[in-house]
Structure 1
């Protein structure tokens, strides 16, 4: 499938799959979207609901590790909060080294490039201590093969959209997500489609439709009660 690097509205880059007219991040701003959906409405929401928690890990599962942007922003926010984070990223098709070189998150965020490189250079299927506060494990597998139960505090659901991969937005996938979360765990996603909200509610999630990032009216946050 033909892929290319594009620049989004906030100046940050993302990968576009031309055959699908689909991007890894929003064309209205890759960094803006990731910060709003996953950091503000996911990590910071959970953190504020569960303070003080700095003495233990917050465990996060990312569905679609992709460019590593969500992991990078989580790493940076965890450092700011002095919060231990155990981050697990699942990706069926990891992106290539040449594509990584063209992503401009380091310059846009004005950070040390060693932080971003560390997330991508560490091996798959092993846990790595990226910093004193941040542990990372990357798994190359399909989302349907996730089997953990009551393991994660937060899930970042950042799969490709239902328009191009409807099989990733089904009851069977969200049942796996529900099982993987601890009680009172939080799932955030950029999507807000009606059938996704209804499916999550039928499984027991408490679902909120929130204001979306720039360029999108709404997003979903769901809590396992």
Structure 2
């Protein structure tokens, strides 16, 4: 798998999978995209519901595609800021090599030293990285993923439909709906009409929201 590192418009890195001709994050700003869609639109909404609940169990997040680890890193930071314990579960078929991770500039931009901790955490088991963040990485395809957990939020950050159309079909969204709690949300950068139709067919209520810079709209789907 051939991977190229690219500097995006907000000064953060993304990666290009040259085999699929697909970017891991937006070239218009990787950091702003992740913060806007998955943290501001998805996680913070889940935290709002969580803080109204008497349940003491951790808030649960599922990410489709661990990738660079940027979404996980931002979630860890937000969990600590909100003082809400988060259990973060993610799947990835092709983990990045150590040298690919080392070249990413997220720690520098966010003034942290955590990205390598995320990538070096053991696979196939929960790893507590702080009192507010537990990470579980599973090396499997989404379609083969199984868990007894129900999630408060899902970050749907799969490669674009042009690269992996099978990940944007109704059957996949039905699988994801079965993993969500009532009032749980799924956020994604892809707002194509047929993606909206497939989400609705899977039982979601679809909301359109303004996207980050150069992105007209993104989706939050509520179960």
Shorter-chain TM range is over 0.9
**What's the TM-score, normalizing by structure 2?**
0.95
* Residue 40 of structure 2: aligned partner: 40
Answer whether contact 1:90 1:138 (CA < 8 A) is retained.
Answer: yes
Answer whether contact 1:55 1:84 (CA < 8 A) is retained.
Answer: no
Matched position secondary structure for 2:90 = strand
* Residue 28 of structure 1: aligned partner: 28
Query: 5+ unaligned residues in a row in structure 1: which ranges?
Result: none
What is the correspondence of 1:101-120 to structure 2 with a 5 Å cutoff? 101-111=102-112, 113=113, 115-120=114-119
Deviation of 1:183 after TM superposition, in Å, equals: 1.2
Q: Distance in 2 between matches of 1:16 and 1:177?
A: 26
Further displaced range: 209-218 or 64-73:
209-218
Matched position secondary structure for 2:130 = coil
Q: Distance in 1 between matches of 2:210 and 2:103?
A: 31
* Residue 134 of structure 2: aligned partner: 135
Answer whether contact 1:147 1:176 (CA < 8 A) is retained.
Answer: no
State whether structure 2 residue 215 is matched by structure 1 residue 221: no
Further displaced range: 48-57 or 89-98:
48-57
Deviation of 1:118 after TM superposition, in Å, equals: 1.4
Matched position secondary structure for 1:209 = strand
Deviation of 1:150 after TM superposition, in Å, equals: 6.2
Q: Distance in 2 between matches of 1:170 and 1:104?
A: 33
> CA RMSD, aligned part only?
1.5
Q: Distance in 1 between matches of 2:220 and 2:155?
A: 10
**What's the TM-score, normalizing by structure 1?**
0.94
What is the correspondence of 1:67-82 to structure 2 with a 5 Å cutoff? 67-82=68-83
Deviation of 1:50 after TM superposition, in Å, equals: 3.9
Q: Distance in 2 between matches of 1:157 and 1:20?
A: 18
Query: How many pairs align?
Result: 222
State whether structure 2 residue 130 is matched by structure 1 residue 145: no
Query: 5+ unaligned residues in a row in structure 2: which ranges?
Result: none
Answer whether contact 1:37 1:219 (CA < 8 A) is retained.
Answer: yes
